[in-house]
Structure 1
């Protein structure tokens, strides 16, 4: 697919740089996978560089996904990934997800700044009117993090996706619309500057 919605520029902040994910990030992502529970809801643990390579190949093979490496600007190392997916220029909507961040990099400014960069591109550069997030209804950590961004919980999509163990998950659906963006942007900027 072509057009601005499917372009993938590097997005640079003070604490994080989002650059298109490539196989060259495998060694860093293997090191960043410092806690197997990071992948409890999404993927099997990354225990080797080969596992990280497989994870990257899977992301790159998805035609509906623009995957980014999250690079800590202080170290220059990839500390996780995040993606745009379900890009729909006709209806001016997209989703943000497939996000994981090294346990060592959590709780700081990297995640809120990464979301600020992604949301700014979505709303201000692409003209999106809606951004969605999807997570397992049982993933309380993810649900809390999404809500903290200023996204609104819209409900559950029942039996929406299969989990890695084959069971069906209900998906918690969150959204942010363009009307929400000015306040959410101000809150994210304040979190980053604290």
Structure 2
């Protein structure tokens, strides 16, 4: 993400109830990010599967879909929207009440991250269907069971995260009007 696109974090005067509301919502974001990290056991199993079987299974449609999910999860871990959320959380500790531009930046990052999770969920559903078709052939049944278990856990994580992210987004958007807009630089020059 370009440094020019990052907002200037400046504290503004807010109502204490607004600050408490922001703190509660930001505290619900932190556990979500912990589940979507590369240290997650299910996701590390997926990475190990795609690495171990990439030469043997690379021609099968389910494996191509599984590799696509693994690439998409890397984007979910380290993408620009995740960076935006992490950047906001890091700067949120330093300011008492962020200005509206900063909140808009967080809302945009949450919206983009939710969209990335939706794409990941649809890819996981497609991979699940391809794994079911592969199971019908009777080949690689044990491998399919492991893959389908990991895909099921990813689907559950996606559903929970999408629902929670939508709830946080709607709550913060409703509170957006109560946060003041920062003074422009031109106004500061004439004061």
Normalised TM-score (structure 1): 0.29
- Structure in which a larger fraction of residues adopt strand: 1
Computing the radius of gyration over CA atoms, which structure comes out larger, 1 or 2?
A: 2
More helix by share: 2
Which structure has more RCO (C-alpha within 8 Å, separation ≥ 6)? 2
